Amino acid sequence: MAEIATLKKINLRDVWKDEGQFSDWLAENLSRLGDELGMALERSEREKAVGPFSADIICADQISKFDVVIENQFTRTDHDHLGKMITYASGLQSQIIIWVAPRFRDEHRSAIDWLNDISGPETGFFGVVLEVFQISDSAYAPHFDIVARPNDWQRQVKRSSSTSRGMPPNETALKLMSFWEDVRAYFEKRSDFMTEQSSVRVGNTKFDFTHYFPSTVPRHYLRAKFNRDITQFHVEIFLSGSRDRPEYSQDWLKHLMAVKDEIEEVAGAPLIWDNPEQNVEMSIRYKPETANIDDTTARTELLARIYDDVHCLDRAFRPHVEAFVETNGTL
């Protein structure tokens, strides 16, 4: 019989001395929160002034392209932080507002639900419980539990009808949702049989043409993409630089271009390097291939191809991206 360990809940102040220290940690580890929310969060600012107050973390969701504000609280939720959350939503015109705390009062959960009910289709409020656990003498493991959110179905369908954001129509959205669910299941099944732990994680399912695979490396995203009529797909890596530090971003891209041949050898095929007008962003992708997610056999083959392409790109790029970050730091 396997050894059974005890799961212990840890006091937050045994991990972070105060709310500020936690906010600093979260700003550098937004992918942990983003994974639970189905977002690819990218930090832009800490302690953003809004009148006499300061919003803890300002970031953006790279999937929806929405602006996000995060308000952290180290004690049970109170009216003061509820008021700040609403103030930040108004003052910063953020579409997504996330309130993180160790415990939520029932009345504050109800308040978030009410805010979601009366808000427009492109505004969402989230309540997230923060907990930390430990198994025996293991490292501390932060855990985020979403206790209040917009109505996912309603919001996704509303957003799916917005052609200005490139969202698919509702019938297509449902097909994509089903397919991305299959991708998640396939990745989890294949990972169970791997002899070495994979660094690739599967993001939450979306009604979208693109599915993100979160990375532990900042501003580095793996994703699978369909064209608008879902007849072609490709897998790519997206490198998101910063226009505030263009020299860093351009050095990053030069570093990768210098080892292009080595990268493509590991990737197993020539890649399309798309860096329009020498921008600070770059997408590197495999050549698009035909896709038919309505055919059972073709669908199964497509799942395997996406799995292989995602892992090949990860193996090809990760060592070089990590080496650059180790030498030059992160944005």
* pLDDT tens sequence across 46-58: 888 888 788 889 9
Q: What pLDDT is attached to residue 271?
A: 94
Are 314 and 172 found together in one domain? yes
Highest mean pLDDT among 90-94, 209-213, 260-264, 321-325: 260-264
Share the mean pLDDT of the chain: 82
Domains identified in the chain, total number: 2
Domain match, 137 and 194 both: no
Residues 48 and 56: their CA atoms lie apart, in Å, by 7
* Lowest mean pLDDT segment, chosen from 191-195, 208-212, 257-261: 191-195
For 210, phi then psi, to 5°, come to: -120, 140
On the question of pLDDT at 160 being above 50, the answer is: no
Range of the domain at 68: 7-150
Residues 144 and 168 both lie in one domain: no
- Per the domain annotation, does 235 fall within a domain? yes
Instruction: Assess contact for 201 and 223: CB atoms under 8 A.
Output: no
> Residue 254 above 90 pLDDT?
no
Inter-CA distances, 290 with 195, 200, 307, 319, Å: 31, 24, 16, 30
Q: Kindly state whether residue 188 falls inside one of the protein's structural domains.
A: yes
Instruction: Give residue 168's pLDDT.
Output: 52
The stretch 115-126 carries a mean pLDDT of 81
Answer yes or no: do 311 and 178 share one domain: yes
Tokens found for residue 56:
């803890």
Whether 170 and 291 map to the same domain: the answer is yes
pLDDT digits over 213-228, tens only? 876 666 678 889 998 8
* Tens digit of each residue's pLDDT (9 = 90 or more) over 66-86: 889 999 999 899 999 999 888
How far apart CA 166 and CA 116 sit, in angstroms, is 23
159 in any annotated domain: no
Long-range contacts of 308-311 (CB under 8 A, 24+ apart): 309/224, 309/235, 310/200, 310/213, 310/222, 310/224, 310/235, 311/198, 311/200
Mean pLDDT to the nearest integer, 194-209? 62
Q: Kindly state whether residues 226 and 131 are assigned to the same domain.
A: no
- Residue whose pair of structure tokens reads 């271009």 in the numeric block: 257
